[in-house]
Amino acid sequence: MQKEVMLSEEQVRQFYSSHQDEEYFPNLLENMTSGPVLALALVKDGGVEHWRNILGPKDLLQAKNEEPECLRAQFSSGSSNINQLHGSGSSEEAEKEIGFFFPPEQTLAVIKPDTQHKEVILDEIRARGFTVSRLKDTVLSREMAEEFYKEHRDEPFFGQLVDYMVRGPCTMLVLTKENAVDEWRAAMGPTDPGEARETAPESLRARFAKDILQNAVHGSSNQTQAHDKIHFIFGDISSENEAVSPALEAEESFAELKNLQTSRSPSFHELRNQTEVNTTDPEGGDEMTESQQTSPEITAVSDHSGTPETPGGSQKHHDIGLTVNV
């Protein structure tokens, strides 16, 4: 994952809260707010230590004299004594830093009644990097279906839609991922499967929808609707989310990164050339929680960081790293 953002002074103070009393902090603050920051989450075996080795020494003079091929030596700014790249000091630190730059978002997804290939759809949801935070198979009553689609109550198709939604079990899911609402809507494709086959042939509706009514899947239109629909189907789950610490909150992002992991990590230049895709429709049994996979180790990186860092230890499991460049 990658994201380019402008940090405010308050955000920099939050990110570097443990360094605010240091003599160099005013320069660091000025540096980190002087332009856009590029944050990258990196995945690799032993990623914390590997990225820190590539970065080189924190002291720029030492980096240039002792390790001239390291990134900090190559990409130093002649006008600043603040080095331009940051790396997490430990997996615990990286968990917090990835959570800071890539907070997870939740959306409600529905696999509609009579939809074939349900397991294929579930597999694709996970393959696209979503974490299934909640899953429930349920048959909607007519009253529930009417309330669920209340925004369409005045539409001529409302009665047909309700009839369809109550005729069999629906699979209700809470999906967690950065930019989850738009990402899920992009995965579904246009409401009309005919349009979906023309404009998004790999989308779920293009492949599995029968017609505009029986179009396989549903997704919330925006974050407000997602919150309301999740509450309607699953009750109030916000309190437990609010109680989660920044480190634990980031675990959703770790699951996403692990799902997206390939056999090797992209190179530094590949990561710099990647672009972040964001996309933005009218749709908007027993409960289960998906078992968490083994948490990968994490590292974080950022440009414009001259702060002390604690070396990360060698690990045998996957690392996730955050890099921040200004």
Binding residue positions for ATP = 112, 157, 185, 191, 205, 215
User: Under a CB-based contact definition with an 8 Å cutoff, are residues 163 and 213 in contact?
Assistant: no
Structure tokens of 130? 């979503």
Residue with tokens 């190559």: 74
Residue 279 CA to residue 181 CA, distance in Å, equals 9
What is the separation of C-alpha 70 from the centre of its chain, rounded to a whole number of angstroms?
29
Residue 247's H or E segment, with its range, is: helix 246-249
DSSP one-letter code for 34: S
Catalytic annotation, pick one of 117, 152, 218, 317: 218
218 is catalytic: yes
The residues pairing with 323 across neighbouring beta strands, listed in sequence order, are 40
C-alpha distance from residue 290 to each of 136, 203, 287 (Å) = 11, 24, 10
Say which amino acid occupies 31.
N
What is the separation of C-alpha 115 from the centre of its chain, rounded to a whole number of angstroms?
27
Residue 226 CA to residue 224 CA, distance in Å, equals 5
Q: What are phi and psi of 213, to 5 degrees?
A: -85, -50
Residue with tokens 């690392």: 319
User: Under a CB-based contact definition with an 8 Å cutoff, are residues 112 and 170 in contact?
Assistant: yes
Residue 203 CA to residue 278 CA, distance in Å, equals 15
Percentages helix, strand, coil for the chain (3-state, rounded to 5) are 40, 15, 45
User: Under a CB-based contact definition with an 8 Å cutoff, are residues 173 and 108 in contact?
Assistant: yes
Structure tokens of 9? 């002074």
Catalytic annotation, pick one of 50, 86, 304, 318: 86
Residue 24 CA to residue 54 CA, distance in Å, equals 23
Which segments are annotated as binding site?
112, 157, 185, 191, 205, 215
User: Under a CB-based contact definition with an 8 Å cutoff, are residues 180 and 280 in contact?
Assistant: no
Give the residue numbers annotated as catalytic, written as ranges: 86, 218
